Amino acid sequence: MTNQESGAGNFSIVPQAAPVPVPDVETRLKELVLNSKDVAGFLTDLALIAAARLSSPGNRIHSGVTVMRRKRPQVVASSDAAARALDELQNGYRDGPCLTALRNRTTLLVPDLAAERRWAHYTKAAQENGVSSILAVPLDLAGEAEAVMNLYSGCSNGFTDEDISTAEAFANQAATSLRLVLRIAQLNEARNDLAVAMQSRTVIDMAIGAIMAENRCSRDAAFKILTKASSTRNIKLRDVAAAVIASISGEKQIDTYFDE
């Protein structure tokens, strides 16, 4: 029996004093959009805010965020090690309240794991690590991705109706911000791809010019020489072009300049 099957682990949910609450979630989310360096950083801050927002004296909430990528769930962020371990454990079983909420795209509450009959293996493992109730709230990302916010409590009935409403309102606000962060990340990736493409085009054009001068041939003929060398040696066209330039000028680093 593996650790996963027995529910063994190096983490435990223990009620602690609540962290300092966040008074203005909307303002904080706007700040995160401006300051987060990447999606993972944004989601980590999101998990921390959610945990702080919903915690109360004697009932510390642990929060994690799972994102579906290529039809496989991945833990992207968490408020602490316990939340991450619980998310990873659930993903290992490939079933549980949070993954069910993600698939059905609806909020799911498990008020008392001791009375829960679904997801038997995961429920047992979570209980053995101090979890008594779970709240899972999907993030509506309008097709940008699929994600769910996972909330864990060491208390039975650890989430009130007001907590559920607060978590859903928070998830709606967070989803709007996360959609913006994802689009910014996509634009940055597109910009980086463009820079790489321009770098490659510059190197290839320089190599074609060098071949034309050396062989006194047309541009098309020079390009065919370059592509044939790439195919014969099974080397990327850009690398062959860089080798041509290095053999002529000794330059190994070709800088590209363009307006951003």
Inside any domain, residue 63:
yes
How much is the pLDDT for 28? 57
| Over residues 155-166, mean pLDDT | 92
For residues 166 and 53, give the distance between their C-alpha atoms in angstroms, rounded to a whole number: 9
Considering only CA atoms, which of 62, 115, 109, 107 is closest in space to residue 89? 62
The pLDDT tens digits for 76-134 are 788 999 999 999 999 888 889 999 998 898 999 999 999 999 999 999 999 998 999 99
**Number of domains the chain is built from:** 2
Which one has a higher pLDDT value, 175 or 108? 108
Does the pLDDT of residue 180 top 80, yes or no? no
Domain that holds residue 16: 3-187
Q: Answer yes or no: pTM beyond 0.75.
A: no
* Domain match, 238 and 203 both: yes
Average pLDDT of the residues in 175-182? 62
Task: Check whether residue 59 and residue 44 sit in a common domain.
Answer: yes
- Shared domain for 124 and 223, answered yes or no, is no
Pick the last residue of a domain from 137, 153, 187: 187
For residues 240 and 117, membership in a common domain is answered with no
Please tell me the distance from the alpha carbon of residue 179 to that of residue 59, in angstroms, as a whole number. Answer: 31
CA distance 125 to 122: 5
Structural domain includes residue 108: yes
Q: Give tens-digit pLDDT for 219-244.
A: 888 888 888 888 887 878 778 888 87
CB 145 within 8 A of CB 181: no
Indicate the pairing of strand 146-153 with strand 61-69: antiparallel
Q: What 3-state class would DSSP assign to 218?
A: coil
Which CATH number fits the domain that encloses residue 219?
A: 1.10.10.10
